[in-house]
Chains A and B, each alone.
Chain A
């Protein structure tokens, strides 16, 4: 069995082969393990490959399901999981030295749900440390490379998951999105990435970066697979108070294909401004023209507070992070250094050695913003801006059903290109941050290539309107019929 044959597969196609006895979960796993062995030394998408456990689980599934002809939705499907999602008995580092050696004694809710649906965790993927970054260069364990060009970044912070799915080291993956960490790497790697409505997926077991923004989302090769994963992981959870008390998403919520032409698409003018790479605007505009030809209505809208969203995000998110990351003090788990000179010494040394520069930068930013005397001017102001940003979206959705924008203003950049200027790096997320601040769902879908690099289109919907989001995403996918990525990866491509 060769991987090439599966290139255009969705989960259903694997299940069809399973049902006919032409493929088994353990054989499928071996195919992906082989691919990982071949390409991951160059890509470095994985921090941990769950070889033994995964195979054991696959064999158990095979035994338990012998003779049955229908499967739970993810039965036998390998899933790559971002390394900030707790997995029982499997190391979870968040791409940080400070959590080196930490093995969670519990599963995140999403992992429980994946496993209940029959999925197999194939490994843990690389990420910017504590999900802080847009290129996966902030991983303490070395960067991940873009499968389309090994000299370029895969985006971040879920760069490992994006690269793994694009390079077909895994059919599907989970990422997490705080300000764009699912969508931007999905776009950089030419795959699908969903950021659900805040509260639609339980955060229990997702290591917190910014609690009011973090959401777990599927990263897949097709919209269809994103829908399947989302059906499994969404829905209320008693263990997360911020999780909405609604049932899991169902594909029944997706409006039928024939209704697609009634969708009115808003184009926020702030997202097509001069800061965007013109080649990217060109590709997206061409797709929009085709949608128009198909009969969809396009209207220009405005999200006037877009320019403030980024600044406010870099107050609110670091503030929460500075508190969320206080627990890494060397007392209970993970790394511990120093202590010879007492408690303070242990704190200083553990946190000085354990955290990388970007994490320290944000802890400092957040600590400053929350300090007495600065709270009103920074954190509180940031929250007020957030309200304005949310209102922007409410008003826009009064005149259209969905918004379409570029995912990022830039193409995948070279490793090291933006590491010297944090602000340059932050700008890579300028189009994904506002919807995250508003808590509304959005999806990144590939809509073409320019100079061999993928271009991502972002579709944004109102809260809990993932159904409409999927409808348009699937329509665009079918309309363009782009080949799913299967990049050739070899040392010769490393210029």
Chain B
């Protein structure tokens, strides 16, 4: 089977975390709000209304461009992108054209430990459109409404060069991009809620010399659907090529329900957006001092953090990479290590137990009831051998569920924290010595005898020991010691 050469480029839009919209003072907090309640003459595009730039939006976009190592152009010029659509109140979108905020940047990430590098073509800022809402029995008989709450929210658009070579790479690249915008605090990067959107250009060729046909994929609403849509598309184009056909240059939609890409209807004749500088907005000159100020607000980014974690805490690269991807998780880790300076143990516990529990509730570390101190406390108890690691895992689950500290969980569950394993061992040995008959019974295969022995230990410890720990200790002793 011959080789397949895949070329992928991404076009990513992130809603910027400004309090007010890009050109008016309406709130951007639109999720779950009644349609058309966060609007004004400006974002509704009423006759006579004029845009006034929200500087914060510009600053956040510049911050993004700087973090992606872009060259920043000295002057920001806004252009009008003219097209008709009901969700576009002015009949044009205020965007940028030949003078974006940043050009020629770089994004680095890793895929299965291998370093990857994708060039960033441009970073620009533009306004979001409204949202069509369809109601009714089916699409034909439906009533369509427009909600302008979202219209005018600032977006940063990040366009990569077609440097990605597989759907896996594309997905990892997107994950890193989201990680960066979250680190910067410029966007919450939530694909499901639409605050991060991704379109992709895919082409496949059977020879490295011959470029493939560019197909644009839209409507991918999660990281998984990005991966699946691209995989599907690569396969579809490969099959066409192997059958001696050429893919059509077109825009295709990812159909999540059917897990296929389908050609988009309409709007296919090449659109002419008639870009021209918006005469309602003056060009904005970016002074070096402004750049300096913004640069100073850029925090340590994921890859730098990963390097530091490897250096400072001697974490292995894969673990450091995963921790550093999520700024909150990384900060949780560091806070925990400050109180319990055993980075490997903390890292392992976070990457297994903490992530498992977070995933099962589908929440982020920010929403977790367990604080870094609480986890440190638990791990200290493990280190002091007060509890075993498997018990610790159970206790953590309970802490996670209830928000109680480790000791409170043990109290509630009747697990003694007064009785350390070492003390317990003594009791266990005594019980074994005092009950030779039961020991003999057990060794002959009578399970019931073990329960009797456990009961004896529990009696001596007044029920404060963990039955499981006791059982384990007994088994260890009975099987011949350490």
Chain A residues engaging chain B, CB cutoff 8 angstroms: 84-86, 92, 94, 99, 102, 104-106, 108, 203-208, 210-212, 238-242, 319-320, 322-323, 325-329, 331-333, 343, 347, 367, 370-372, 375, 379
User: How far apart are the CA atoms of A86 and B52 in the complex, in Å?
Assistant: 18
User: How far apart are the CA atoms of A367 and B275 in the complex, in Å?
Assistant: 11
Q: Residue on A with the closest CB to B270?
A: A372
CB neighbours (8 Å) of B80 from chain A are: 323
CB neighbours (8 Å) of B86 from chain A are: 329, 331, 343
Mask of B14-57 contacts with A, CB within 8 angstroms, 1/0 = 00000000000000000000000000010011111111110000
B139 to chain A, nearest CB (A): 12
Q: Chain B: interface secondary structure?
A: loop
Instruction: List 14 A–B pairs whose Cβ atoms lie within 8 Å, in order of A's numbering.
Output: A85-B48, A104-B41, A105-B46, A204-B48, A211-B279, A241-B53, A242-B50, A242-B282, A320-B279, A326-B84, A327-B47, A332-B45, A347-B84, A370-B274
Decide yes or no whether B138 CB sits under 8 A from chain A.
no
Q: A325-B91, A328-B91, A367-B274 are in contact. List 10 more A-B contacts (CB 8 A).
A: A99-B47, A204-B50, A208-B47, A323-B91, A323-B274, A329-B91, A331-B89, A332-B46, A372-B274, A375-B276
B187 to chain A, nearest CB (A): 25
Contact A323 B82, beta carbon cutoff 8 Å? yes
Contact B49 A204, beta carbon cutoff 8 Å? yes
Per a CB cutoff under 8 Å, which of A92, A239, A322, A333 touches B52?
A: A239
Contact A319 B82, beta carbon cutoff 8 Å? no
CB neighbours (8 Å) of A372 from chain B are: 272, 274
Q: Residue on B with the closest CB to A99?
A: B47
Contact B276 A323, beta carbon cutoff 8 Å? yes
Contact A205 B274, beta carbon cutoff 8 Å? no
CB neighbours (8 Å) of B280 from chain A are: 208, 211, 241-242
Decide yes or no whether B107 CB sits under 8 A from chain A.
no
Count of B residues near A, CB < 8 Å? 28
Decide yes or no whether B146 CB sits under 8 A from chain A.
yes
Per a CB cutoff under 8 Å, which of B45, B47, B89, B276 touches A102?
A: B47
User: How far apart are the CA atoms of A239 and B53 in the complex, in Å?
Assistant: 10
CB neighbours (8 Å) of B227 from chain A are: none
User: How far apart are the CA atoms of A108 and B45 in the complex, in Å?
Assistant: 14
A213 to chain B, nearest CB (A): 8
Contact B90 A106, beta carbon cutoff 8 Å? no
Contact B47 A241, beta carbon cutoff 8 Å? no
> Given A370-B276, A371-B274, A372-B272, do A327 and B52 touch, yes or no (CB 8 Å)?
no
Contact B89 A108, beta carbon cutoff 8 Å? no
Q: Residue on B with the closest CB to A206?
A: B48
Decide yes or no whether B417 CB sits under 8 A from chain A.
no
Contact A326 B48, beta carbon cutoff 8 Å? no
User: How far apart are the CA atoms of A102 and B46 in the complex, in Å?
Assistant: 10
CB neighbours (8 Å) of B82 from chain A are: 322-323, 326, 370
> Given A241-B282, A370-B274, do A327 and B48 touch, yes or no (CB 8 Å)?
no
CB neighbours (8 Å) of B282 from chain A are: 241-242
CB neighbours (8 Å) of B84 from chain A are: 326, 329, 347
Per a CB cutoff under 8 Å, which of A94, A210, A239, A327 touches B89?
A: A327
Decide yes or no whether B92 CB sits under 8 A from chain A.
yes
Contact B52 A241, beta carbon cutoff 8 Å? yes
CB neighbours (8 Å) of A323 from chain B are: 80, 82, 91-92, 274, 276
Contact A242 B46, beta carbon cutoff 8 Å? no
B374 to chain A, nearest CB (A): 49
Decide yes or no whether B281 CB sits under 8 A from chain A.
yes
Per a CB cutoff under 8 Å, which of A84, A106, A210, A370 touches B46?
A: A106
User: How far apart are the CA atoms of A269 and B8 in the complex, in Å?
Assistant: 63
Which parts of B109-142 form the interface with A (CB within 8 Å)? Answer: none
Contact A203 B50, beta carbon cutoff 8 Å? yes
CB neighbours (8 Å) of A320 from chain B are: 279
Which parts of B43-98 form the interface with A (CB within 8 Å)? Answer: 44-53, 80, 82, 84, 86, 89-92
CB neighbours (8 Å) of A102 from chain B are: 47
Contact B92 A212, beta carbon cutoff 8 Å? no
User: How far apart are the CA atoms of A372 and B79 in the complex, in Å?
Assistant: 14
A131 to chain B, nearest CB (A): 12
A78 to chain B, nearest CB (A): 22
User: How far apart are the CA atoms of A92 and B49 in the complex, in Å?
Assistant: 13
User: How far apart are the CA atoms of A372 and B276 in the complex, in Å?
Assistant: 10
Q: Chain A: interface secondary structure?
A: loop
| From B44, B275, B280, residue with most partner A Cβ within 10 Å | B280
Contact A205 B92, beta carbon cutoff 8 Å? no
Instruction: Return the 4 tightest CB-CB contacts between A and B, nearest first.
Output: A326-B91, A211-B279, A370-B274, A212-B279
CB neighbours (8 Å) of B52 from chain A are: 238-241
User: How far apart are the CA atoms of A343 and B41 in the complex, in Å?
Assistant: 24
Contact B146 A331, beta carbon cutoff 8 Å? yes
Contact B47 A92, beta carbon cutoff 8 Å? yes
A369 to chain B, nearest CB (A): 9
CB neighbours (8 Å) of B276 from chain A are: 319, 323, 370, 375, 379
Contact A106 B41, beta carbon cutoff 8 Å? yes
A449 to chain B, nearest CB (A): 37
Which parts of B278-293 form the interface with A (CB within 8 Å)? Answer: 279-282
Contact A105 B41, beta carbon cutoff 8 Å? yes
A340 to chain B, nearest CB (A): 13
Contact A94 B47, beta carbon cutoff 8 Å? yes
User: How far apart are the CA atoms of A239 and B280 in the complex, in Å?
Assistant: 11
| From A319, A329, A379, residue with most partner B Cβ within 10 Å | A329
CB neighbours (8 Å) of B48 from chain A are: 84-86, 92, 104, 108, 203-208
User: How far apart are the CA atoms of A85 and B146 in the complex, in Å?
Assistant: 27
CB neighbours (8 Å) of A328 from chain B are: 91
User: How far apart are the CA atoms of A329 and B89 in the complex, in Å?
Assistant: 9
Q: Residue on B with the closest CB to A92?
A: B47
A112 to chain B, nearest CB (A): 13
B357 to chain A, nearest CB (A): 48
User: How far apart are the CA atoms of A333 and B274 in the complex, in Å?
Assistant: 25
CB neighbours (8 Å) of A379 from chain B are: 276
CB neighbours (8 Å) of A210 from chain B are: 279
| From A211, A239, A240, residue with most partner B Cβ within 10 Å | A239
Contact A326 B47, beta carbon cutoff 8 Å? no
CB neighbours (8 Å) of B279 from chain A are: 210-212, 242, 320
> Given A106-B41, A323-B82, A332-B89, do A371 and B47 touch, yes or no (CB 8 Å)?
no
User: How far apart are the CA atoms of A332 and B84 in the complex, in Å?
Assistant: 13
Q: Residue on B with the closest CB to A347?
A: B84
A200 to chain B, nearest CB (A): 15
User: How far apart are the CA atoms of A316 and B195 in the complex, in Å?
Assistant: 37
User: How far apart are the CA atoms of A105 and B40 in the complex, in Å?
Assistant: 9
Q: Residue on A with the closest CB to B87?
A: A331
User: How far apart are the CA atoms of A320 and B80 in the complex, in Å?
Assistant: 10
User: How far apart are the CA atoms of A30 and B275 in the complex, in Å?
Assistant: 51
B176 to chain A, nearest CB (A): 35
User: How far apart are the CA atoms of A89 and B51 in the complex, in Å?
Assistant: 22
Q: Residue on B with the closest CB to A93?
A: B47
Contact A104 B90, beta carbon cutoff 8 Å? no
Contact A207 B50, beta carbon cutoff 8 Å? no
CB neighbours (8 Å) of B51 from chain A are: 241
User: How far apart are the CA atoms of A204 and B282 in the complex, in Å?
Assistant: 15
User: How far apart are the CA atoms of A347 and B272 in the complex, in Å?
Assistant: 18
Which parts of B343-388 form the interface with A (CB within 8 Å)? Answer: none
A109 to chain B, nearest CB (A): 10
User: How far apart are the CA atoms of A86 and B50 in the complex, in Å?
Assistant: 12
B282 to chain A, nearest CB (A): 6
CB neighbours (8 Å) of B274 from chain A are: 322-323, 367, 370-372, 375
User: How far apart are the CA atoms of A203 and B42 in the complex, in Å?
Assistant: 13
B99 to chain A, nearest CB (A): 15
Contact B272 A332, beta carbon cutoff 8 Å? no
Which parts of B256-280 form the interface with A (CB within 8 Å)? Answer: 272, 274-276, 279-280
Contact B91 A241, beta carbon cutoff 8 Å? no
User: How far apart are the CA atoms of A238 and B44 in the complex, in Å?
Assistant: 18
B147 to chain A, nearest CB (A): 12
Q: Residue on A with the closest CB to B144?
A: A343
User: How far apart are the CA atoms of A29 and B82 in the complex, in Å?
Assistant: 45
User: How far apart are the CA atoms of A326 and B92 in the complex, in Å?
Assistant: 7
